[in-house]
């Protein structure tokens, strides 16, 4: 029979995780482009996600890694909440490819997010919390996809690898 302290600890952990997920959802709002219609799945092609990092911010390697993690999780969560389960499943079944690219600045990021949205490609912009290197609410990384490689290359093919 489980101890009362074990049950209370598990319940507290569940409440904490739920609160953190809700806080994460609330923080990310505002810059995601609307992508309501579920994109059709092209079974014959590879899919990837691109992570577009603002090069003008001069973030350290660790900071970039953390921001890219936020970008991946934020986009995945947004796709999941929209019901894009088939899209996520297809991407997961084929290796969850991700490519990291450089952006010159915030205006390029916003323009690219708008383009992705107009092509019905999911995207998400990360806002930094401002605890370390970057001012609060600074847009740091744009994640786009998962989408067919050829579609993403049309949108981001001009960008250089990070």
- Return the sign of the alpha-carbon dihedral for residues 29, 54, 67, 118: positive
Query: What is the reported pLDDT for 43?
Result: 83
One-letter-per-residue 3-state SS of 29-63 = CCCCCCCCCCCCCCCCCCEEEEEEEEHHHCCCHHH
Residue 16 has pLDDT above 80, yes or no: no
Lowest mean pLDDT among 7-21, 89-103, 141-155: 7-21
The CATH homologous superfamily to which domain 31-156 belongs is: Bit1 (3.40.1490.10)
Give the model confidence (pLDDT) of 81-125 as tens digits. Answer: 999 999 999 999 999 999 999 999 999 999 999 999 999 999 999
- Bigger pLDDT: 13 or 78? 78
Query: What is the reported pLDDT for 44?
Result: 83
Share of the chain above pLDDT 90, in %: 70
Give the model confidence (pLDDT) of 51-93 as tens digits. Answer: 999 999 999 999 999 999 999 999 999 999 999 999 999 999 9
**Which of the four pLDDT bands, split at 50, 70 and 90, describes residue 36?**
low
Residue 6 has pLDDT above 50, yes or no: no
Q: How many CB atoms are closer than 10 A to CB 123? A: 29
Please give the mean pLDDT across all residues of the chain. Answer: 84
Tokens representing 127 are: 């806002």
93 in helix, strand or coil? helix
The reported pTM is: 0.77
Distance CA 54, CA 93 (A): 29
C-alpha dihedral (107, 110, 111, 117), degrees to nearest 10:
180
């Amino acid at each position: 029979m489980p101890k009362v302290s074990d049950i209370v600890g598990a319940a507290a952990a569940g409440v904490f995780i739920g609160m953190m997920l809700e806080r994460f959802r609330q923080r990310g709002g505002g810059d995601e482009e609307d992508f309501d219609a579920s994109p059709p799945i092209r079974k014959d092609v590879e899919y990837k996600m691109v992570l577009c990092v603002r090069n003008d911010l001069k973030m350290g390697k660790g900071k970039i890694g953390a921001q890219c993690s936020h970008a991946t999780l934020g986009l995945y969560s947004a796709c999941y909440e929209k019901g894009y389960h088939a899209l996520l499943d297809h991407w997961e079944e084929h290796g969850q490819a991700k490519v990291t690219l450089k952006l010159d600045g915030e205006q390029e990021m916003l323009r690219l997010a708008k383009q992705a949205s107009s092509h019905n490609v999911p995207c998400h912009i990360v806002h930094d919390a401002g605890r370390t290197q970057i001012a609060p609410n600074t847009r740091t990384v744009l994640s786009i996809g998962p989408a067919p490689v050829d579609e993403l290359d049309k949108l981001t093919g001009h960008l250089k690898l990070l």
